[in-house]
Chain A
Amino acid sequence: MSGLGVPSESVAHDGGLGGPPAQRRRTGLSRRGREICRGVLRQPILAACVVVVAVAVAAALAPAAFTGADPLRVRPTAKLHSPDGTHPFGTDQLGRDLFARVVHGAGLSLSCAAIAVLVGLIAGSLVGLTAGFVGGALDAAVMRLVDVLLAVPSLLLATTLVTTFGFGPVQTALAVGTSSVAGFARLMRAEVLRVREQAYVEAALVAGARRLSVLRRHILPHTRGAVLALTALDFGGAILAVSALGFLGFGAQPPTPEWGALVAGGRGYLDTAWWMTAAPGLAVVLTVLALNRISQAFDTPTGPR
């Protein structure tokens, strides 16, 4: 599992002399973008994963572009139709078009996962960054707290938080996000501690740079690879967690389509209408699989190739 083939150091502070800073940055970024594209294209599976995620995001942003059918329209005459030309994923027990429901469900599922990841990423990174950079008693105290949060399984932590936040899609997203804060905090702290030992950080401090600017310019950019990998992985995990809570009925309430809730809705029709669980279930599987593979590309390889 090789990486993207992109040098890990940031282009933004290469200290080159050519051109005004803004322009230099832009050419640097576009060169980096081209390199990433080339790296992705060399690996067909990775490219396919990027396409899957892109399609899922597009469905979340503009569901109307994929289907003209209304996900909430009930038609008693067309109930429990198996998949065919007019209904690619079949219809449910109320005659609603399942393809439309899965496509429209992408919006809620992915935005809930995105909220969860953002909460975990921002809060966790801030906590880890502060603990790692300040050190001392604060670091010890924060890390004990993180230990405690990691001692409770994340699914149980999320359901406990749902008790507090209440039911609903945004509430479950916040609960899932809060339960992932500890993981991000621990990773960020470890990365800060690793980078802080590097010679260039020492050099910058000796040269008289202020601690905050050292943190921003020299430490933060170098933690990016690991944090991005965890973010992509956590996005997949958040989709799973949000859909599990939705399946249990804590998330979106009917008739709003959400992937986990859609699978739960098909539970009573396993015998007669397999497509009701298969379609939303496979949507979750494909998206998470693709996100996990992309997350791997950010990481350094350990297995043989």
Chain B
Amino acid sequence: MAELVAVAPELGRGGVVGRYLAVRLAHSVFVVWAAYTLSFVILYLVPGDPVEMMVSSSGVISVTAQQIAQLRAEYGVDRPPPAQYLTNLWHALHLDFGRSLQRGQSALDIIGGALPSTLELAGAALLLAVLVGWALALGATVTRVRWLQRFLLALPALGVAVPSFFIGLVLLQVLSFRWHLLPAFGDDGPRGLILPAITLSVPTAAFLARMLAQSLWRVLADPHVTTARAKGLGRWRIHLRHALRNALPPVLAVAGVLVGNLLAGSVVVETVFSRPGLGRVVEAAVTSKDIPVVQALVVLFAVVFVTVNLLVDLAYHLLDPQVTVAMVRRR
């Protein structure tokens, strides 16, 4: 990529930014393609024939060789792998990831049906995680009370060490079964969303709080903060106006990973709370080795990751236009 960029600074700023975004977009497309290819290699070539797996796992005994051959032709697995790969890729480009081996529906339909419920959960959890994470980080960096600071810093360390299924079960035990405050299972309305959202948000909130606190400390040691202090500005003003903005880029850089992990965390959380959604689709697909669905899920997660990262790139540019230019030069 270096040779591409060597000419960029001469193009003026609009050119640099446009070129930078073009490179990023190309890279995103590459990542999605590579995720598709990698998952094809892992899922289709290693464990053997999906049709045999389907027949053996569905417990059907009286299947003739002829029927198997017919099924193999129907699912297109009787041809050599490279040919299969090209056909599948062509179909995938048209948003067709094949039919589920278990349910017969299109893989994308299954995922599409499960998506709203998970998006609702993940959205609520993300909101919660960002609020709590920021509050913890700001609180820990603003306060001068030693024990309070220690306490606020200990919470994220605890948050990343507790498995989310355990958090969910403890919440269920205390809030639903002992105190009867909230419904235990199901997805009925906002009240049923509270416990799963809290559970899902804990690891993300903890991670966010730790990163933001570290980043804030680095920025608070910068000369421009000292200047602001010398001017006699208040602590909160320095924090919110002068430090936070500069502390954000390292946190934004991991946003893609955070959102991905949040969505992947729904596998465990939805199982704990018996909620329908993407996580249950993952679990069911892995349990029954439903390969088209698993592959579609991998691609979906890769798409989410690169999309979030593209948005982060735009956010960088809005936070500080110089960053984009600097990044292009560095590459």
Task: Tell me the B296-312 residues at the A interface (CB within 8 Å).
Answer: 297-298, 301-302, 305-306
> 1/0 per position for B11-35, CB-CB distance to A under 8 A?
0000000000000000000110011
Measured between beta carbons, the chain A residues less than 8 angstroms from B272 are 267
Q: Which residue of B lies closest to A159 (CB)?
A: B286
- Chain B residues with CB below 8 A from A164, complex form: 42-43, 46-47
Contact (Cβ within 8 A) B214 A289: no
From A148, A155, A247, A277, give the contact of B38 (CB < 8 A). Answer: A148
B287 touches A249 (CB 8 A): yes
Q: Which of B165, B173, B289 is A274 in contact with, Cβ under 8 Å?
A: B173
User: Do residues B161 and A156 form an inter-chain contact, with CB atoms below 8 A?
Assistant: no
B157 touches A289 (CB 8 A): yes
Does chain A have a CB within 8 A of B271? yes
Across the interface, do B301 and A153 meet the contact criterion of CB distance under 8 Å? yes
Please give, as numbers and ranges, the residues of chain B lying within 8 Å of A153 by CB-CB distance.
257, 260-261, 263-264, 301, 305
Nearest B residue to A293 by beta-carbon distance? B157
Q: Quick check: B42 and A161 within 8 Å, CB to CB?
A: yes
B residues in contact with A223, CB < 8 Å:
none
- Please tell me if the beta carbons of B165 and A263 are within 8 angstroms of each other in the complex: yes
Q: In the bound complex, do residue B214 and residue A270 qualify as a contact, i.e. CB atoms below 8 Å apart?
A: no
- By a CB distance below 8 angstroms, the chain B residues around A270 are 169, 172-173, 177
Say yes or no: A303 contacts B166, CB within 8 Å. Answer: no
Name the A residues within 8 Å of B153 (CB-CB): 303
* Interchain nearest-CB distance for B167 vs A (Å): 9
Cα(A302)–Cα(B215), bound, Å: 9
A148-174 CB contact bits vs B (8 Å, 1 = yes)? Answer: 111111111001111110100000000
Q: Are the C-beta atoms of B34 and A144 separated by less than 8 Å?
A: yes
Complex-state Cα separation, A292 to B161, whole angstroms: 8
Interface hits, B121-166 → A, CB 8 Å? 153, 157-158, 160-166
B315 at the interface (CB under 8 A from A): no
Residues of B199-228 whose CB lies within 8 A of A:
213-214, 217-218
A248→B157 contact, CB < 8 A = no
The secondary-structure label for the interface of chain A is helix
Is A271's CB within 8 Å of the partner chain B? yes
A260 at interface (Cβ–Cβ under 8 A)?
Answer: yes
- The stretch among A30-38, A213-221, A280-288 that forms the contact with chain B is A280-288
Q: Which listed residue, B160, B164, B271, touches A292 by the CB 8 Å rule?
A: B160
Interface size class of B (residues with CB under 8 A): 35 or more
**A163:B294 contact, CB within 8 angstroms:** yes
Interface residue from A156, A162, A278, A293 paired with B297 (Cβ < 8 Å): A156
Q: Using Cβ atoms and an 8 Å threshold, which residues of chain B touch A260?
A: 163, 165
Those of B260-292 within 8 Å (CB) of chain A? 260-261, 263-265, 267-268, 271-272, 282-283, 285-287, 289, 291
Give the distance in Å from the alpha carbon of A302 to the alpha carbon of B39 in the complex: 38
* A267–B47 touching, CB < 8 Å: no
Which of the candidate stretches A74-82, A87-95, A186-194, A236-244 sits at the interface with the other chain?
A236-244
A250 interface residue (CB < 8 Å to B): yes
State A154–B163 Cα separation when bound (angstroms).
15
Is B301 within 8 A of A152, CB to CB?
A: yes
Tell me the bound Cα distance from A248 to B283 in angstroms: 8
CA distance A113 to B70 in the complex (A): 43
Q: Is A304 an interface residue (CB 8 A)?
A: yes
Instruction: List, sorted by A's number, 14 A–B pairs whose CB atoms are closer than 8 Å.
Output: A152-B301, A153-B257, A155-B265, A160-B286, A160-B294, A163-B285, A243-B165, A244-B268, A263-B165, A284-B162, A285-B166, A288-B161, A293-B157, A303-B214
B residues whose Cβ falls under 8 Å from a Cβ of A: 30-31, 34-35, 38-39, 42-43, 46-47, 153, 157-158, 160-166, 169-170, 172-173, 177, 213-214, 217-218, 256-257, 260-261, 263-265, 267-268, 271-272, 282-283, 285-287, 289, 291, 294, 297-298, 301-302, 305-306
What 8 pairs between A and B have smallest CB-CB spacing? A153-B264, A281-B166, A153-B260, A289-B161, A288-B161, A148-B34, A155-B264, A151-B305
- Chain A interfacial positions (CB closer than 8 Å to B): 144-145, 147-156, 159-164, 166, 236, 240, 243-244, 247-250, 260, 263-264, 266-267, 270-271, 274, 277-278, 281, 284-285, 288-289, 292-293, 302-304
